[in-house]
Amino acid sequence: MNVKQRLSLISQVGEEIIQPSELKELLEKKKKFVAYDGFEPSGTMHIAQGILRAINVNKMTKAGAKFKMLVADWHGWANNKMGGDLDKIQKVGKYFIEVWKACGMDLKNVEFIWVSDMVNDPEYWKKVMQVARNSTVKRVIRCGQIMGRKEGEVMQASQILYPCMQAADIFHLKADVCQLGMDQRKVNVLAREIGPKLGYWKPVIVSHHMLMGLGQPVSKEKDATERTIDLKMSKSKPDSAIFMTDTREDIKRKINKAYCPQGQTRENPILEYCKYLIFEKYKSLKIKRSAKFGGDIVFKSYEELEKVFASGKLHPMDLKGAVAEKMNDLVEPVRKHFDRNSKAKALKKEVERFEVTR
């Protein structure tokens, strides 16, 4: 695969890339590069963290990435996830890894790294201190959105430490590329600004799209990052997302009640599922309809589907029926894994008993 092809593949992942010229230069210099993402273990996993994350990781590894997946257990602890119970947070982290084992992630090119191991290294804390010493409190608080916190919201002292740790993670992991969601943009930009001052580098930022929640969006005038946070799925609202072990009945119920106005293509979560999940995995979508309403129709591309839906010639309930079936197909291997693997099954049951905290 040449540089142009690798760049094209990564561009499919990046809703925003900072900067494309730097990414091209990186690919010209390195056939293999390090990309990283970090995840706070909290609650059960939804499809954006599972299926979409696997799709994006696989594109990155195909383009030459050695992917370092950071299990941010201490970050979750600082952010008071799972009521601040580190043991529970770590069990959720193990559960997440079990999900990825079953949903098609290219694990031979993915390394899972626990922050609880990194914190035993004094060099890690030196990097955290370097970031903190070269950042203002105001700037760090502005990065609070990476924790799902709104700007101006009261933060615990531990949450002030979080952005400093996350910026330090990038340099400690020797990451060439930060491949996280759009909601993590601000801290990645901080790392780019501060890196050269500390004798490090400017990491390239490849920010992936944040899949919408299934409910009706709330219209507010906000900056791009805040808007992304408002629209995305929420674990505290179980019907806002399909979870990786939902039953067929759960999936059908959630999809049927999802926001999907006829003819509307912008901020339509059902179409988002089609674009970012179904067409990525299956490359086509068959809609079953009675002859009275035009009979069955097969779409070979998302663009074709969007055009027909925008015209009003495809009813939302017909689309929802097909989407529900495909979403069930996507999570079925994960359900089977947790049903057949006794260790994974016990872990899932334990995690499901934990109370989800914001």
Q: Who has greater pLDDT, 157 or 347?
A: 347
Query: Do 153 and 183 share a structural domain?
Result: yes
Query: Do 187 and 252 share a structural domain?
Result: no
**pLDDT surpassing 80 at residue 268:** yes
- Return the CATH number at 17: 3.40.50.620
The pLDDT-based confidence of 38 (bands split at 50, 70, 90) is very high
| pLDDT tens track for 134-183 | 999 888 888 876 656 565 565 688 888 999 999 999 999 999 999 999 99
Query: Do 122 and 34 share a structural domain?
Result: yes
Q: How many residues does the chain have?
A: 358
Of the residues 208, 243, 277, the one at which a domain ends: 208
Query: Do 85 and 145 share a structural domain?
Result: yes
Of the residues 208, 239, 258, the one at which a domain ends: 208
Closest of 317, 287, 314, 316 to residue 299, by C-alpha: 287
User: Residue 294 has what pLDDT?
Assistant: 85
**pLDDT surpassing 60 at residue 318:** yes
The pLDDT-based confidence of 217 (bands split at 50, 70, 90) is confident
Q: Who has greater pLDDT, 239 or 274?
A: 274
CA distance 336 to 127: 42
Closest of 15, 49, 69 to residue 206, by C-alpha: 15
Does residue 246 belong to any structural domain of this protein?
Answer: yes
The pLDDT-based confidence of 42 (bands split at 50, 70, 90) is confident
Handedness of CA 74, 76, 82, 83 (dihedral sign): positive
User: Residue 235 has what pLDDT?
Assistant: 57
Does residue 296 belong to any structural domain of this protein?
Answer: yes
Percent of the chain with pLDDT over 70: 91
Query: Do 275 and 342 share a structural domain?
Result: yes
Average pLDDT, the chain: 91
Q: Who has greater pLDDT, 225 or 254?
A: 254
User: Residue 229 has what pLDDT?
Assistant: 47
CA distance 59 to 12: 8
User: Residue 353 has what pLDDT?
Assistant: 87
Query: Do 327 and 240 share a structural domain?
Result: yes
Query: Do 265 and 144 share a structural domain?
Result: no
320: Cα within 13 Å, side-chain hemisphere: 18
116: phi then psi, degrees, rounded to nearest 5: -60, -20
Residue 229, number of CB atoms within 10 A of its CB: 19
Does residue 217 belong to any structural domain of this protein?
Answer: no
CA distance 258 to 213: 9
Does residue 278 belong to any structural domain of this protein?
Answer: yes
Query: Do 282 and 194 share a structural domain?
Result: no
- Return the CATH number at 288: 1.10.240.10
Q: For the chain, what is the domain count?
A: 2
Stretch 286-298: mean pLDDT? 91
Does residue 213 belong to any structural domain of this protein?
Answer: no
Does residue 111 belong to any structural domain of this protein?
Answer: yes
User: Residue 234 has what pLDDT?
Assistant: 57
Q: Could you list the residue range(s) of the whole structural domain that residue 296 is in?
A: 224-353
Query: Do 257 and 295 share a structural domain?
Result: yes
Of the residues 208, 233, 267, the one at which a domain ends: 208
The pLDDT-based confidence of 227 (bands split at 50, 70, 90) is very low
Query: Range with the lowest mean pLDDT among 107-121, 277-291, 343-357?
Result: 343-357
Query: Range with the lowest mean pLDDT among 34-38, 198-202, 292-296?
Result: 292-296
Query: Do 243 and 178 share a structural domain?
Result: no
**pLDDT surpassing 90 at residue 286:** yes
Query: Do 38 and 167 share a structural domain?
Result: yes
* Long-range CB contacts (within 8 A, 24+) of 147-151: 147/40, 147/79, 148/79, 148/183, 148/229, 148/358, 150/226, 150/229, 151/226
| pLDDT tens track for 3-37 | 999 999 999 999 999 999 999 999 999 999 999 99
Does residue 216 belong to any structural domain of this protein?
Answer: no
Stretch 264-273: mean pLDDT? 96
User: Residue 222 has what pLDDT?
Assistant: 54
Query: Do 69 and 194 share a structural domain?
Result: yes
Handedness of CA 80, 86, 90, 91 (dihedral sign): negative
Does residue 119 belong to any structural domain of this protein?
Answer: yes
